[in-house]
Amino acid sequence: MNQTRIAQKYWLERAWLGDGAVSAGVSVTVDDGCFTAVETGVAEPARGANRLAGLTIPGLANCHSHAFHRALRGRTQRERGTFWTWREQMYSVAEKLNPDSYYELARATYREMVAAGITSVGEFHYLHHGPDGAPYDNPNAMGLALIAAAQDVGIRIALLDACYLAAGIGRPPEGVQVRYSDGDTEAWMKRVGDLASHADRPGQENSVVVGAAIHSVRAVPRDQMRDVVAWAQGRQAPLHMHLSEQVAENESCLAAYGITPAAVFAEVGALGPLTSVVHATHLTDGDVAVLGETGTSSCLCPTTERDLGDGIGPSRLLHQAGSPLILGSDSHAVIDMFEEMRAVELDERLATQKRGHWAADELIAAATYDGHRSLGFPDVGRIAVGARADMVTLDTSSPRTAGTGTDAETVVFAATGSDVVHVVADGRVVATRDDHRQIGVDLNRTIANLWGE
């Protein structure tokens, strides 16, 4: 028997539509998970419409996540150190995880993301194998655990499967890194090809993308990078890589290859509109130019970069050169894309001693449609006819947002993830304010179990 599908109607008290202004009284119709009508200047909700009070923006994209790092929050702040000492603490968590515990941790972490308005996540995945480096019976058990966790909480996932073959340039994997390595790119391509086939099954085509990642210039030999690039380009899939996060990384690359990491990636054909580089902190003028000329996106993760003492990337110079800005929460010291947006501008102020580098609209664009596009979801991130129906509604009367004008500046310079009260993804409600307490309970239990507490 045929069932009649009933379109949903929403009335948004105020909404950012990406045109430089916030509109009042926006009526939207959602059918089959997409916006089929958007009308502004509607004074009152139509009969039967869902009323969303506050300020509504498109769904947010978290373009760089390592889900298991969530277990480190608050625990790596107890002593001094550097990125490299933090990395040893991170490795201790990586040693503990198996497919079941990884699913539980990722599920709790993704629930936290959804509650903060994130509707798509780019999961930079390199924790592939068992503790001794031997593959699980299903070599993609860990990646499939991440996909299952995302599907269960209603967040889209771009699983960016990372090739990771070396501890450093010319050095084999060490310690827990044996879990990351497939041995060579031929084995990596076979495994990730099987993963992509699984993700292409019916029902997941709109919510799961399998992309590729080159972990870094230090973790994949230059002569094998082209295989990863060819795999991604052959599928027209996203390709992401860490770039120049640390000065030591640049120094080792220059010593080994005589050129910068960005130049290595350019040489192997890795840069382009489907590619995103993460951090891009310590760049030369030539690096900035090549990233801009190729249209490569630059994913900054300011809350992680300041937490680890990485430095401040040249976000505005990159943008002016032609490299779109996107954002991620990376190590999850904070999961709050509002803070990531805000930090881009505020970090530029610290670096230059001047204000006003980024307009609020530009930063919202980075956190919405530019971010979704970089993950392989180009029809997400706008409240517009034909786009997939993602809506994130903010409380505009909280202690943080009250009196701020309920405009784009409210989103970037006042709101936090705690102000998110309602989240819709693909036309389906995936989070409300009522979920926050249970999310905290689940995170506490899952992380305590992981640490044996």
pLDDT digits (tens, 9 = 90+) for 122-177: 999 999 999 999 999 999 999 999 999 999 999 999 999 999 999 999 999 998 89
Closest CA to 130 of 102, 162, 157: 102
Give buried/exposed letters for 346-365 (b at 16+ CB in 10 A, else e): bbbeeeeeeeebbebbbbbb
8-state DSSP, 134: P
CA distance 264 to 269: 9
- The torsion angle over the Cα atoms of residues 422, 425, 428 and 432, rounded to 10 degrees, is -20
pLDDT in tens, 38-65: 999 999 999 999 999 999 999 999 999 9
Instruction: Give me the CATH topology for the region 60-374.
Output: TIM Barrel (3.20.20)
Closest CA to 260 of 244, 238, 246, 240: 244
Q: Of 215, 279, 282, 422, which residue is the catalytic one?
A: 279
Q: Please report the pLDDT score of residue 21 as a whole number.
A: 82
Q: Is 330 one of the catalytic residues? A: yes
Strand partners, 423: 392, 431
Instruction: Give me the CATH topology for the region 8-58+382-438.
Output: Urease, subunit C; domain 1 (2.30.40)
Closest CA to 209 of 395, 406, 379, 12: 379
Determine the 3-state secondary structure of 142 from DSSP: helix
Q: Of 161, 182, 310, 330, which residue is the catalytic one?
A: 330
8-state DSSP, 330: B
Q: Where are the domains of the chain?
A: 8-58+382-438, 60-374
Taking only the tens of pLDDT, the chain with its 453 residues reads 344 456 899 999 999 999 778 999 999 999 999 999 999 999 999 999 999 999 999 999 999 999 998 988 887 766 666 665 666 777 777 888 999 999 999 999 999 999 999 999 999 999 999 999 999 999 999 999 999 999 999 999 999 999 999 999 999 999 889 999 999 999 999 999 999 988 776 666 689 999 999 999 999 999 999 999 999 999 999 999 999 999 999 999 999 999 999 999 999 999 999 999 999 999 999 999 999 999 999 999 999 999 888 999 999 999 999 999 999 999 999 999 999 999 999 999 999 999 999 999 999 999 999 999 999 999 999 999 999 999 999 999 999 999 999 999 999 999 999 999 999 999 999 999 999 999 999 999 999 998 887
